[in-house]
Every structure is written in structure tokens, then in C-alpha cells.
């Protein structure tokens, strides 16, 4: 199982970025998968996940309405469109498989992840 996130960078407040996560070693359509982030000195924060069956999506309150998760099973790629970015969104972002999921971050059990991608929101 390999997951590789990319697409991070430096963006001004209010800007947008689209992260990608290419997976290998498993069929993306067979697993729930999601994103979390880790900022220096802060706990890991679950952001979003998408179910494998009906592609239901779930978001943390901090990003709901600003971030959008999607998947392309044919390309084995997961995406995270991030809009209206804020300085507090600065972190390393990771994509990960999710073993159990539900409507909120406390329901998400992230299991496997790879290298993350740095997102910095600053003027």
C-alpha cells in the first residue's frame, strides 16, 4: 500500500490549492480514504473522508464549505480542493486509508499514509 500526496505550496490567504494523492498497491474504489493534517506543535487533525461505496463525503467543521474531497477510481487518485484558505490551514497534509468512518472526525480511523505535502498560507 502506497500513498503519495502532492500539490502543496505557498498560497495567500483567500487563495486555493488542489491536492492530489496517487495510490498504488490497492484498488482505490474498495476503501474509504481521506485527508488529515499535522501542524507543528498541534495534534493531528482529520479533515475529510469519502466512502468506498456511494462516495459519501464527510468533513471536519473547520473545513466544511471550504474543502471538497473527490476521487477518480480509474486513475487511483484522491483529491482535496481547498478554497478560501486561512493561515491556520498551514500544515503538512496527508492522504490515508480509513478503516472506519462516520459523520465526524472522531469516527475516522486513519491507518496507512505516505509522505505528506506542505501547505503554507501566508501573505
Average pLDDT score over the chain = 94
What is the SS3 assignment for 2? strand
Name the pLDDT band for 52 (thresholds 50, 70, 90).
confident
Mean pLDDT value of segment 76-87 = 97
pLDDT, tens digit, 9 for 90 and up, residues 4-32: 999 999 999 999 999 999 999 888 888 89
Cell of 117: 505535502
Say how far apart CA 117 and CA 100 lie, in whole Å.
24
Name the pLDDT band for 114 (thresholds 50, 70, 90).
very high
Query: Please, are residues 112 and 96 in contact by the beta-carbon 8 Å criterion?
Result: yes
What is the SS3 assignment for 32? strand
Judged against a pLDDT cut of 80, whether residue 34 lies above it is answered with yes
Judged against a pLDDT cut of 80, whether residue 53 lies above it is answered with no
Amino acid at each position: 500500500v502506497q500513498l503519495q500526496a502532492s500539490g502543496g505550496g505557498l498560497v495567500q490567504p483567500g487563495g486555493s490549492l488542489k491536492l492530489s494523492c496517487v495510490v498504488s498497491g490497492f484498488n482505490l474504489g474498495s476503501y474509504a480514504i481521506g485527508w488529515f493534517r499535522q501542524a507543528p506543535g498541534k495534534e493531528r487533525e482529520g479533515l475529510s473522508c469519502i466512502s468506498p461505496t456511494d462516495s459519501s463525503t464527510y468533513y471536519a467543521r473547520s473545513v466544511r464549505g471550504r474543502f471538497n474531497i473527490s476521487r477518480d477510481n480509474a486513475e487511483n487518485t484522491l483529491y482535496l480542493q481547498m478554497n478560501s484558505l486561512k493561515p491556520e490551514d498551514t500544515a503538512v497534509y496527508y492522504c490515508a486509508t480509513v478503516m472506519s468512518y462516520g459523520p465526524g472526525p472522531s469516527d475516522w480511523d486513519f491507518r496507512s499514509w505516505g509522505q505528506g505535502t506542505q501547505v503554507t498560507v501566508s501573505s
